[in-house]
Structures are given as C-alpha cells and as structure tokens.
Structure 1
Amino acid sequence: MVSTNNSDIDVVKNFLHTPESIETSELVTALGIMNISLDGSNFEQKMQNILSVIPLTSIFTLLGSVNKAVTSVTCKILDKLLRPMNYKDINSSGLEEYLIIGLQFDSPEVRILSLHQIEKSLESEEAIQDLIKSPLFPKALECLGYDDIPTSTKVSDFFIKLANTSDSGLQALFNSESVAILKRLSEGNETIKFRVFDLIARISTSSSEAFQLCISTGALDSITSELNSDDLLVRLNAVETFSKIIQSKSGYYFLERSGIIKSLVDYLTQDDDKDIVLVLVKSASLKFFGKLSEIEEVDFSEVENKYKILTQLDAHLLSDNLELKTTTISVIGMIGHNPLGLKLLYNCTSPNILSHFMDLYHSSTGEVKLICMQTISCLIGTSDSSTDEIDNITEQIYQQIGGYPTPLKTLMINAKVTIEEVRIANFAIMQEIASHPWGKIEMSRSKEFIDYVLNRTTESTHKGKEWKYSIVQNLHSNSGTLIAPNVLERLRKYLSEGPFYVRTTTIVALESG
C-alpha cells in the first residue's frame, strides 16, 4: 500500500511557493503518490496530513498548470478531498470562485470536477437556493456550449434533475437570465442548438407547470421560430433537430404540445410541388414522420389517428416531383418495418395506401422502381413471433409482386440483371422472404430456386455472393419440419463451405510414350 510521506507533500508545497525550484517530473511523481495514497483505509487521516500542510485552495491553483499530467492528477486528488464535503461546506470554504474558474477551463476534466461539486446542491432545498443565487448557476448553464460530450451531458443531466427536484430550481431555469443564455447558445452550431432544444424539451415535458413556464418565458420561441424562418437552410436544420428531439416520448409530446407536429403536417397539405423550397421542407417533414414511426415509446397509431399521416403519404405517391415521390416510398418502408406500422398500412383502406404503392411498383421504372423494391424488402422484413397476422400480411405483399408462374421467379430473373443495385434490391427481398415460415416453404419447394441459390456460378461479385449466402442462412435458420430433409442437407453443406467456396478440379497429367 502506498502512503504519502512528508517529502512528497513538501515537494508539492515547495512547488507552490517557488515553482522554479521543482522539476515538473518530480511534481507529477509526488502528486501521483498523493493521489494513490488517498485510496483505501485511513482516508481521513491521510486527508488531514495533506491539508495540514497544503490548503485546499492552494491545491486548486495547480489546475492552472500548463502540464496536462499535473492538471489531470490534481483533478483526481481534489475529487477525493472534496468527496466528504457537501455543497454547503464547499460554499462556506471559499471555493465558489475556484469552481467558477473551473467551469471555464479548457480541460473537460476540470469542468467535470466543478460540475460534480455543483451537483451536490441537489442534496437539499437550502443548497439549491444557495446555488440559484450564486454566479455558479449561469456559468454552469453556459457549459452546454462546450464541444465535448462528457461536459454537455453532465450539464444537461444536472439541470434536468434540478428541474424535477425543486420548484425554485425550475423557476430559475426559466428566468430572464437563463432564457437569454439558452437563446444565445441556440444561435451557435447545430450540435449545441440540439442540446439546448433537447434540454428545453425534456424539462418542459416533465410537468404542466414546466411547459407553461417554457411558453410564458419565451423559451419556446427560439425553437418554433426556426421552422418559420425565411432561410431554407434554417428550416431544414430545424426539422432535422426535431427528428433528434423525438427520440423519446417526452420529446414527441413536447413537439406536439408546442404545435410543431401540426406545423409539419400543414406543410404536407400544401399543393405547390413546383416550389423548390416547399418541396425540400415537405421532404424533410416526410422523413420526420418516418423516423417518428420508429420510436418505440411513441404509439404511431395515435399520431395517425390525429394527423392522418397515411393520407398525406398516399397523396405524395402520386406527386410529379421525383424528390417527394421517392421520399414517400422510402417513408412507407420506414413505417412498415415494424409490426404496428405494417398493420396500420395494411388496414388503411381509405386511402388504400398499400394497394396504391404496389400499383406504383408495377408501373414504375428506373430509380422509382428501385426504391419501391427496397421498400418491399422493408415491408416483408417485418416479423412478429407473437401472432400470425404479420406473417399473413407479408405473404400477401409477396403475392402482389406478381410474376409467372410465381413472384419468386420474377425475383430470380431480376437478380440476374447486370445492374448491381437492382440485383441487390432483389436479393434483399429474397432474404426477407426466407425469414418467414411461408417463405421457407415457398422457396424450398421450388427446385428451380434451390438450384439457382446454391449454384455458385450464378453470381460473380463479392457482394452478390455475400447476399446469396445470407439468403441461404435465413432459409436454413429455424426451418424445423418446413423444409424437406434432402433440401435441408444441401443448404447445410452450402453454409459449411462458406460464401466464397470454389470447387477445385484435379488435373491428372498422363505421360505419353
């Protein structure tokens, strides 16, 4: 066990008095021994040994060293020495100014040290009141503007806890000074803007009072104004930021209660698809709702019931604008790639969006056709082991692909074309078909398909071989009694050989004579 002796403490003391008398390497060594000695038993005695020689405030000054090793080990020592102290102790010890300086340091490690001490204020309402009145409060809020994730995450987590712990803490977060800081930070880069919006969203949805404070103080204005900006880039960035905010249920409720969801829907109802600005904002809004459908915490059926998103998607399937058409097709795939979304699409009969989508698939060519195939693979790739309903829906979608004598034949033909993107799109559909019980039966009973998928000469590209191998993997997996034993053995042999197996031929040379 390492123990601090007076010589190590004296090295640090002497450096503080006359820095030029001690080599940096010697200082780092002495500090390292002090740090290690504070671990283990007899902590209080070891702490007193240090503080009886070197005041705590003097140790803080070592954080300003140009040597990163000195700064880092000093942070560790201070963290341990401050551990027994509550916020009131820290405040009464004259350390507030050091914490303020620490929040403004270039070193994330120093900022985290200061924030860790500020976090102790959550222990009591009295401590919270002291913090609110302190210059530490606005300085801590400004730490949202730092680039490093550890600092910004700790700041966000602290203020969310503060708002949920104390009414006075919540009020302080929405006073004029705090709102001005948040507004100024939101005018920075997109990363910082998102942090600010996310913090406001998470706090404002914690209670009705919090949301009303958010509205009455104008904290919401900086968010909603982005969507109504005359600057196209600002509007597009706003929608992208909203897409990040909805990663939680509270984020969705915030956007709904603030009227942003309705504003995005209103954009979709506007008819002028020749207005390039409107087209880009509508496209971003469509993607937003696609991402919203993927959030597990949000019941997308409630969103659909209130805002009729599928009706808007159906209308944009017929758009003459290629950007809107292809975005809509992709969003249908995003919505239908989970059981709830697929059932919503399937049960939507007015309009019959799935039928209209499949009609578009059959009538389209080129890029639109390709994106339709990618969406079909998303739809068929949906599964739900708890019910047969999803299996039945995916099989019906497969049958609607059409082709003679079966849709599988169509996919096989398309998988042999020279355009790689088309081949891969068809491979992706086959892979998803092979994951369903009905698909395993359909594929395994087609001798032509089995011969094709196991024939290594039908695909020459590296990527194509990987796709064929993944199809066989899905087909073989959990097949049980669905596949005949002789076919199952052929699949097993193919898998054991790997995706890039090449059969070798032995050539025997005969001596003439």
Structure 2
Amino acid sequence: MAASVSELLREIAELEEPLEELRSLKTAVYSLPLTALRDLAVGLRFGVLFALIDNSDDREQIDTSVAILDRLLQALDPVYLAQNFRVELQKGLQHSDDNVKILAISQIGRIVENTDAVPIILSSPELLKEMIHSIGGKKISVAKEAIKSLSRVSQSKAGLDALFMTNMLQDLKDVMATNDVVRYRVYELVVEISSVSPVSLDYCGNSGLITQLLSELTGDDVLIRATAIEMVTGLAQSQHGRQYLAQQGIIDRISNMIIGAESDPFSGFYLPNLVKFFGNLAMVDSPQQICERYPAFIEKVFEMIEGQEPTMIGVGLDTIGILGSCVEGKQVLHKTGRNFQEVLRRLGSISCNASTDLRVRCLDTIASLLSLPNDQQTEDLLAMTETWFHTLHSHPMETFCNMSSQPFPEIHIGALKIFTAIASQPWGQRLMISTPGFVEYIVDRSAEPDKPSKDAKFELVKTLVDSKTTAEIFGNQHYLQLRAYLREGPYFVKAIATVAVDGE
C-alpha cells in the first residue's frame, strides 16, 4: 500500500484531470496508520498536491487534495514541517478556499505546539503576518485557530517581541480596523496573551490595546459595552490581571456602572455581564471581600431574582449558585439576613411556577446552596442549611418529592440533585427517613426512565452510603439496601427466572 501511494502521486503529476487517481490516493493514505506514513511522507512529492490546490477551480479536486494533504502532513514531525513547508502554509492562508485555509492553520497549530518548531515560525515574518490577517477572515474557525496559534507563539519572550516590538503590532491594529467583530477577536487574543504572565500583560499594556479595550467599557454602543465587559472578565481570571484592573480603577468603574444602571433604559443589554464579572471575581478571589467591598453587586443580584425579567432572573440564579457553592460564599449570603430569606422564598416559588428552563436553573442553584461537604459540617453551618431548606417551601420534602416523580426529565433530575445535596447532612437524612415511601423510592430503579436519571439516583445513593451517619439514622436494614444498590451499580436489572412447562 505504501508503494501505491508513491506510484499514484507520480501518475497524478502527469495527468491533466487526475480526479479518479486522487480518490484512489485518498483511500490509500487513509488506509495506512500514521506510523506507516511517517517514514513514507518525508520522501513524497508534496508539490504535486499543493499545485493541484493552487491551480484548480474544481471543488472536488481541491477538497480531495486537501484531505490527502491533511493526512500526510499529520505524519510529519512539526520541526520538519516548519522547516520545509513555510511557503506552502503561507500560500494556504492566502487561498480563497476556506478548507485550504483551515488545512494551513491547523498545521501551523501543530507547529506552534512544539517548542523546538516555534523559533522557525518566528523567523518567518510573512507567515506571522498572514496569521494575523487570518483573524480578520470571514470563516470563524480559521480566525479561532489563528488566535490560538498566535497565543501559543506569544508564550515565549521571542514571540512577544515578534508580535509587539515589530511592525506586526501595526498589522494587528490594521486588522482591528476591519469591523467591530474582528476588533473583538483581536481583544480576545490580547486577553489570552495577557493571562499567561505579568510579563505578557506588560507587553499587551504597553501596546495600548488593553487601554483601548478598557475605554470601550463606557462607550455609547451598549452591545459593544456588553462585549467589552465580557472580555475584561477574561482578563480578571489571573491574579496579575485582577491586580492590573484594580490599579487602573476598572473594578470600581464596573461597580459604579451597576449603580448607574438604574437610570439607564438600555442597561438590560450589559447589566448581566456586569453581574457575571463580579460573580467570577468573587469565585477566583474572595466572595467575602468582593461582596463587602462592592455591596452594589449582591444587592443587584437579589434584585434580579426578585424581578420579573426571565433573562435577569436566570443570571441572578446562576450567580447565587456560584457564590453559594463554597462555604465562604454561603456565609456571605447568610449575613445579608432577611434579604436572603426573601430570596430563598423567591427561589421556592421559581422552582415551582416559572418556565422549565428557569425551574431547572433554580433547582441547580438550590442544590448548590444546600450542599455541604462532610469535612465542613459544623453545627452552625448545618443549622444554616437546614433553615434555608425549610425557608424554600412550607413543605419542602413533599414539594421536591412531587417534582422527583414528574415525567419531565430535567425537573426530575433537578429534584434528585437537591436530595443529593442534603443526603450527607444528618438533618437531611432524618427528613428522608421520616418521609413515607422515600427510602423505597430511592432503591427502586424502575422509577428512573433514562440513563441521566439513573445516574442522578446513583449519585444520591452513593452520597448516602459515604456518609458516616446514614447507618445510624436510616437503620441497618435500609443501609444494607443502599449498599447493595451501590454495589450493583446504576443500571442493574434483576434476572427473572423462567420455568419450562411440558408441552411448550
């Protein structure tokens, strides 16, 4: 088969219409493992295939040639690829056909993943320039790969110098001028590079591109403002990024934007992203510090949940769920006292009466709020989660039991998640054992119609078995049933014995 690959390439080089032979070659190269192609590919006449791409308008011929090249180039070592195919890859990025561009950018992606091959790319300014211009292309997949590759190139000082200390920086700025969409693709690249290290951030800061991004936070176009906030949220994921934003006064500015949103009729376009910014900030930094320093954030989240706008409610639910997923966040929420009690009652209402999407998100939020790892179950925290549970509904166990028997899979699983959240806590176990029929429901596999439901039920059983208090609270008989369920797995089906009858 290896010999036939070389022979077919020779035949193709001599034919004016080689489509049939190209199809055969495609079959041949895909029938061989990459290990077998590795030695073969080094000696092949790739120029034949690249010429077919460059000099043809035939759709199938181009696509077939691209498929063959993709397979053969995958077999080449990245360093060899960089040394011998820089010109072809550059021409590929300039090609009018998107599949050819994707082929070129994917192979460049392989090269920049190899630290020994990156310097070869850096010595090819024209190739770097084409990668930058690919960010402005119509095909989003090409642009994304270009961003990824340039970000990888920038993980060395030499790469940072090549992008930000040469005329490549002007190329970046020229590409940004294409339109709003492309400008934000460049911002995406800058944020990715900045997140790597303080040194990377310094390069991006000195380029003026971050300053330009930050200036768009208060621009006249509310949609652009929303996108800018999303980009700045990415910048806040690293500690050095957060320090930079704090030093520049950006976090205070975003807090003031939340306060000012009250008087802005168009704030609905960007307010969710403002709240997401602080939600992310609280989780990567400190929920207590963020909520205490920027009280407008938590007040706005409560307000969103109490309101009637579905989009705002959803963002509020997700944010409370993120905050309440850790003990420090739970304590911050608990400190708000009566305000959070009102939010809990609102969560209870949403879980029963809203659209299916909001009900599911609400159930996930409730499960996040109520969860408490075994090693953090102090008396105070257990009392807190128990109080929260009973604040949700007048009869919470009955309410969630009814949900767990509903035919809607998402609601059914959401209720199971809440039971799992309280299953490791003694008060939750006491509620379960005192609820008629609940233990029987837990060990009844027939109650779960599909795989996700069976998996959710199994997670509940596992949580109960792993708890040190379950055996005492549930009693030995029920505990042994749960252990048997866990041992048999989520999909166990009992064999039904059949008895042969004479004459049948």
TM-score, normalised with respect to structure 2: 0.70
Output the aligned Cα RMSD: 5.0
Residue of structure 1 equivalent to 2:107? 113
1:164 equivalent among 148, 156, 160: 156
CA contact (8 A) 2:70 2:103 kept: yes
2:302 equivalent among 300, 317, 327: 317
Say whether residues 1:433 and 2:426 are aligned partners. no
Residue of structure 2 equivalent to 1:349? none
1:288 equivalent among 277, 280, 285: 277
Q: SS where residue 209 of structure 2 aligns?
A: coil
**Hey, what's the Cα distance between the residues in 2 that align with 1:377 and 1:201?**
33
**Hey, what's the Cα distance between the residues in 2 that align with 1:159 and 1:494?**
49
**Hey, what's the Cα distance between the residues in 1 that align with 2:402 and 2:113?**
62
Query: Which residues in structure 2 correspond to 1:45-124 (within 5 Å)?
Result: 47-48=42-43, 50=44, 57-64=47-54, 65=56, 66=58, 67=61, 68-77=63-72, 85=80, 87=82, 89-90=83-84, 97-105=87-95, 106-107=98-99, 108-113=102-107, 116=110, 123=117
CA contact (8 A) 1:435 1:475 kept: yes
1:484, distance to aligned residue in structure 2 (A): 0.8
More helix per residue: 2
Residue of structure 1 equivalent to 2:339? 356
1:130, distance to aligned residue in structure 2 (A): 3.1
CA contact (8 A) 2:288 2:328 kept: no
Tell me the number of residue pairs that the alignment of Structure 1 and Structure 2 aligns.
459
1:357, distance to aligned residue in structure 2 (A): 0.3
Amino acid corresponding to residue 229 of structure 1 in structure 2: G
The answer to which of 155-164 and 66-75 deviates more is: 155-164
Residue of structure 2 equivalent to 1:393? 381
2:367 equivalent among 371, 377, 386: 377
1:213, distance to aligned residue in structure 2 (A): 3.7
Amino acid corresponding to residue 113 of structure 1 in structure 2: Q
Deviation track 1:349-368 (CA, whole Å, cap 9, x = no partner) reads: xxx32543014445898549
CA contact (8 A) 2:318 2:365 kept: yes
Q: SS where residue 262 of structure 2 aligns?
A: coil
Query: Which residues in structure 2 correspond to 1:325-474 (within 5 Å)?
Result: 327-328=315-316, 330-346=318-334, 352-362=335-345, 366-367=349-350, 375-381=365-371, 383-389=372-378, 392-402=380-390, 410-415=395-400, 429-444=418-433, 446=434, 449-451=435-437, 454=440, 473=461
Amino acid corresponding to residue 13 of structure 2 in structure 1: K
Compared CA separation, residues 186 and 497, structure 1 to 2 (3 A)? same
Compared CA separation, residues 172 and 159, structure 1 to 2 (3 A)? farther
1:277 equivalent among 259, 262, 266: 266
Amino acid corresponding to residue 111 of structure 1 in structure 2: I
Residue of structure 1 equivalent to 2:205? 215
2:290 equivalent among 297, 304, 327: 304
CA contact (8 A) 1:264 1:285 kept: yes
Q: SS where residue 129 of structure 2 aligns?
A: helix
2:170 equivalent among 146, 167, 177: 177
Compared CA separation, residues 120 and 287, structure 1 to 2 (3 A)? closer
CA contact (8 A) 2:132 2:171 kept: yes
1:343, distance to aligned residue in structure 2 (A): 4.1
1:342, distance to aligned residue in structure 2 (A): 2.5
Q: SS where residue 398 of structure 1 aligns?
A: helix
1:337, distance to aligned residue in structure 2 (A): 1.4
Amino acid corresponding to residue 293 of structure 2 in structure 1: K
Say whether residues 1:138 and 2:129 are aligned partners. yes
1:239, distance to aligned residue in structure 2 (A): 3.1
Amino acid corresponding to residue 162 of structure 2 in structure 1: G
Q: SS where residue 435 of structure 1 aligns?
A: coil
Residue of structure 2 equivalent to 1:265? 255
1:412, distance to aligned residue in structure 2 (A): 3.4
**Hey, what's the Cα distance between the residues in 2 that align with 1:399 and 1:234?**
43
1:336, distance to aligned residue in structure 2 (A): 0.6
CA contact (8 A) 1:310 1:345 kept: no
Q: SS where residue 276 of structure 1 aligns?
A: coil
CA contact (8 A) 2:134 2:146 kept: no
Residue of structure 2 equivalent to 1:508? none
**Hey, what's the Cα distance between the residues in 2 that align with 1:308 and 1:263?**
13
CA contact (8 A) 2:279 2:319 kept: yes
**Hey, what's the Cα distance between the residues in 1 that align with 2:110 and 2:395?**
63
Larger Rg: 1
Compared CA separation, residues 367 and 123, structure 1 to 2 (3 A)? closer
Amino acid corresponding to residue 201 of structure 1 in structure 2: V
1:411, distance to aligned residue in structure 2 (A): 1.1
Deviation track 1:122-178 (CA, whole Å, cap 9, x = no partner) reads: 6586x466323xx22211122234545477336523443335241532434785423
CA contact (8 A) 1:164 1:170 kept: no
Q: SS where residue 230 of structure 1 aligns?
A: coil
Deviation track 1:381-405 (CA, whole Å, cap 9, x = no partner) reads: 2x3343334x7414423225548xx
**Hey, what's the Cα distance between the residues in 1 that align with 2:430 and 2:74?**
64
Compared CA separation, residues 385 and 363, structure 1 to 2 (3 A)? closer
Identity %: 17
Compared CA separation, residues 5 and 454, structure 1 to 2 (3 A)? closer
**Hey, what's the Cα distance between the residues in 2 that align with 1:29 and 1:401?**
66
TM-score, normalised with respect to structure 1: 0.69
**Hey, what's the Cα distance between the residues in 1 that align with 2:209 and 2:140?**
24
Amino acid corresponding to residue 162 of structure 1 in structure 2: S
Deviation track 1:65-124 (CA, whole Å, cap 9, x = no partner) reads: 53222222134445657867475x54xxxx654332211332122432355567789658
CA contact (8 A) 2:423 2:463 kept: yes
1:153 equivalent among 142, 145, 152: 145
Compared CA separation, residues 14 and 415, structure 1 to 2 (3 A)? closer
Runs of at least 5 residues in structure 2 that lack an aligned partner in the other structure: 354-358, 494-504
CA contact (8 A) 1:246 1:252 kept: yes
